[in-house]
């Protein structure tokens, strides 16, 4: 009976490249054993390995010199988010500069792009498009409201108490420069249109969609993060609203389902209502109908405040 030496611990449970195996002293014959399968050119899969998206992205870029993760895959890895109809295919998007051949592999969608220094970052050991560049790459494929919503997420002010950062992913000036640097990129005109609609203050995609729906419904542009007492930094705030009409609107998504968050939400709701504001709470059901119902209710309240 032939005894098979175990793989090094570093390679036993994840996909790895021929280069990594060679560095660790694994002989080529060992890679042809039954407990290692072919994962594509220069890639090997240990038995029982079921790599997630990040692991597949890491090994594919390691086996493809000059390539980096981009487009939909970059958005998923870096937490930018995608519409529900995107990012479902079992493929990794890899880009290369125009001077190199397009990546051609099973399970890979290859792109050849013009790239500028600083547009690719190291993300947990994986070369990935920086978030603003990912936004620009995806503008061609996204409807304009999604381009606006993703842009809002790039420029929003993070909450240091809940996130491991204190600066936004991008500033409007930086996005304008990015667009100027890629005048011929498909989708750049849509990104340029979106720039005029970006606003700081939306903490989620639905909040942006709600703002756009309110404006499309004939309402004036709402203020974002409306604080009950603008002079008090600790005063309760709502996602959107109109101070002039004492109207506040709050979108309750998944983060609002925890007991602690619900307690804070209840205190905020009571504070606005006690101060005489009309207070609207909306959720995923309202989002599914395009916020048409809540926009109509806000319009009626606004009209009533104008006539009183």
- Look at residue 273 and tell me if it is in a domain: yes
CA distance 69 to 60: 9
Q: 122 and 107, same structural domain? A: yes
pLDDT of residue 258: 60
Q: In percent, how much of the chain has pLDDT > 90?
A: 83
- Look at residue 64 and tell me if it is in a domain: yes
pLDDT beyond 70 at 254: no
pLDDT of residue 241: 97
Q: 267 and 135, same structural domain? A: no
pLDDT of residue 1: 44
Last residue of a domain, one of 195, 214, 232: 195
197 neighbors 149 (Cβ within 8 angstroms): no
Phi, psi of 55 (to 5 degrees): -65, -40
Instruction: Give how far the C-alpha of residue 61 lies from the chain's centroid of Cα atoms, to the nearest Å.
Output: 21
- Look at residue 200 and tell me if it is in a domain: no
User: Tens digit of pLDDT for each residue in 163-187?
Assistant: 889 999 999 999 999 999 999 999 9
User: Tens digit of pLDDT for each residue in 96-136?
Assistant: 999 899 999 989 999 999 999 999 999 999 999 999 999 99
DSSP 116: -
Q: 159 and 74, same structural domain? A: yes
User: Tens digit of pLDDT for each residue in 70-80?
Assistant: 999 999 999 99
Q: In percent, how much of the chain has pLDDT > 70?
A: 97
148, β-bridge pairs:
none
Q: Give 3's pLDDT tier (boundaries 50, 70, 90).
A: low
Last residue of a domain, one of 195, 220, 251: 195
Q: What is the rounded average pLDDT of the residues 39-58?
A: 93
Nearest to 94 by CA among 55, 125, 128, 117: 128
Q: 39 and 58, same structural domain? A: no
Q: DSSP string spanning 211-240? A: HHHHHHTTPPPPEEEEESSTT-TTS-EEEE
- Look at residue 3 and tell me if it is in a domain: no
pLDDT of residue 159: 86
pLDDT beyond 90 at 95: yes
Q: 235 and 171, same structural domain? A: no
- Look at residue 1 and tell me if it is in a domain: no
241, β-bridge pairs:
223, 248
CATH code for the domain of 281: 3.40.960.10
Q: 283 and 216, same structural domain? A: yes
Q: DSSP string spanning 46-111? A: ETT----HHHHHHHHHHTSTT-EE-HHHHHHHTT----TTSS-SS-EEEEEETTSPPP--TTEEEE
Number of domains in the chain: 3
Q: 58 and 189, same structural domain? A: yes
10, β-bridge pairs:
none
- Tokens 């054993």, located at residue: 33
What number of other Cβ atoms are within 10 A of residue 218's Cβ? Answer: 9
- Joined tokens for residue 12: 């036993």
The contacts of residue 294 (CB under 8 Å, 6+ apart) are 210, 249, 280, 282, 286
- Joined tokens for residue 239: 């996602």
Burial of 285 (0-12, 13-18, 19+ CB in 10 A): exposed
pLDDT beyond 60 at 212: yes
> If you count DSSP H runs as helices and E runs as strands, how many of each does the chain have, helices first?
11, 12
Give, in order, the Cα–Cα distances in Å from 79 to each of 82, 150, 254.
9, 11, 16
Last residue of a domain, one of 160, 177, 195: 195
User: Tens digit of pLDDT for each residue in 58-68?
Assistant: 999 999 999 99
Q: 221 and 92, same structural domain? A: no
HSE, CB side, 13 Å, CA atoms: give it for residue 307: 6
Q: 155 and 44, same structural domain? A: no
Q: What is the rounded average pLDDT of the residues 243-270?
A: 82
32 neighbors 57 (Cβ within 8 angstroms): no
Domain of 36? 9-51
Q: 154 and 91, same structural domain? A: yes
pLDDT beyond 80 at 229: yes
Q: 65 and 33, same structural domain? A: no
- Look at residue 2 and tell me if it is in a domain: no
Q: What is the rounded average pLDDT of the residues 78-91?
A: 90
The SS3 assignment for 281 reads strand
pLDDT of residue 263: 80
Bridge pairing between strands 108-113 and 92-97: parallel
What number of other Cβ atoms are within 10 A of residue 61's Cβ? Answer: 21
- Look at residue 98 and tell me if it is in a domain: yes
97, β-bridge pairs:
113
181 neighbors 187 (Cβ within 8 angstroms): no
- Look at residue 26 and tell me if it is in a domain: yes
Q: 188 and 100, same structural domain? A: yes
């Amino acid at each position: 009976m032939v005894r098979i030496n175990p793989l090094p611990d570093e390679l036993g449970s994840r996909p790895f490249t021929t280069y990594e195996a060679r560095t660790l002293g694994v002989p080529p014959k060992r890679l042809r054993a039954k407990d290692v399968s072919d994962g594509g050119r220069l890639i090997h899969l240990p038995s029982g390995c079921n790599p997630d998206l990040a692991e597949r992205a890491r090994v594919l870029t390691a086996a493809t010199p000059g390539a980096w993760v981009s487009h939909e895959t970059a958005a998923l890895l870096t937490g930018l988010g995608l519409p529900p109809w995107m990012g479902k295919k079992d493929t990794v998007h890899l880009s290369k500069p125009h001077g190199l051949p397009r990546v051609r592999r099973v399970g890979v969608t290859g792109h050849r792009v013009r790239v500028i220094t600083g547009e690719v970052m190291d993300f947990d050991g994986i070369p990935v498009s920086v978030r603003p560049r990912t936004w620009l790459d995806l503008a061609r494929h996204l409807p304009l409201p999604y381009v606006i919503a993703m842009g809002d997420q790039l420029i929003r002010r993070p909450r240091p108490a809940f996130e491991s950062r204190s600066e936004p992913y991008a500033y409007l000036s930086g996005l304008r420069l990015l667009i100027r640097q890629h005048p011929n990129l498909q989708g750049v005109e849509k990104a340029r249109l979106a720039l005029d609609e970006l606003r700081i203050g939306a903490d989620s995609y639905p909040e942006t969609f709600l703002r756009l729906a309110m404006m499309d419904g004939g309402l004036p542009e709402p203020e974002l993060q409306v604080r009950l007492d603008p002079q008090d930094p600790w005063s309760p705030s709502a996602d959107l609203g109109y101070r002039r009409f004492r109207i506040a609107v709050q979108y309750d998504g998944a983060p609002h389902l925890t007991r602690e968050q619900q307690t804070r939400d209840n205190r905020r709701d009571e504070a606005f209502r006690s101060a005489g504001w009309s207070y609207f709470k909306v959720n995923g059901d309202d989002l599914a109908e395009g916020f048409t119902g809540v926009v109509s209710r806000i319009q009626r309240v606004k009209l009533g405040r104008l006539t009183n």
